[in-house]
């Protein structure tokens, strides 16, 4: 009764109503979770997901579980990340930092600059 199956849902629209995000740790999902400031429980299975999961944990915005985690493990991780003010503080800081870089428009400008001059200028807010 609490599940609705669909072939497609706009993930970011759904996430806007969530307190936590259980994700495989793909880059798109990770960026959406960060942009929306949603604590994450990451269950990576391969490749870049493992690296992304590790980095999200290092940044303090989520917790990583192994693919064989059980229901109790997942429930516990969700409870921890949602209730941890340090996670919310880290999410706010990262979200503000990302917004300060200028987003897709700044990225497009930088790409145009490289294409036309071969030089890259510093993007504000980036390291």
Residue ranges of domains in the chain: 11-102
Contact call for residues 40 and 18 (beta carbons, < 8 A): no
Model pLDDT, residue 108: 87
**Cα–Cα dist 27/100, whole Å:** 20
Model pLDDT, residue 57: 97
Contact call for residues 43 and 23 (beta carbons, < 8 A): yes
* pLDDT, averaged in runs of 10, over the chain (127 residues): 89 94 95 94 96 96 97 98 98 88 83 78 56
Domain 11-102 has what CATH class? alpha beta
22 bridge partner residues: 41
Model pLDDT, residue 123: 56
Q: Whole-model pTM?
A: 0.79
Model pLDDT, residue 13: 93
**Cα–Cα dist 20/35, whole Å:** 13
Model pLDDT, residue 125: 55
């Amino acid at each position: 009764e609490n599940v609705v199956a669909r072939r497609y849902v706009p993930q970011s629209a759904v996430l806007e109503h969530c307190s936590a995000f259980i994700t495989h740790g793909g880059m798109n999902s990770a960026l959406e979770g960060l942009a929306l400031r949603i604590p994450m429980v990451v269950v990576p299975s391969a490749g870049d997901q493992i690296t992304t999961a590790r980095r999200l944990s290092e940044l303090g915005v989520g917790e990583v579980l192994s693919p064989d985690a059980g229901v109790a493990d997942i429930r516990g991780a969700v409870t921890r990340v949602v209730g941890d003010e340090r996670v919310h503080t880290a999410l706010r800081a990262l979200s503000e930092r990302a917004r300060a870089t200028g987003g897709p428009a700044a990225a497009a400008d930088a790409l145009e600059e490289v294409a036309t001059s071969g030089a890259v200028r510093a993007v504000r807010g980036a390291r």
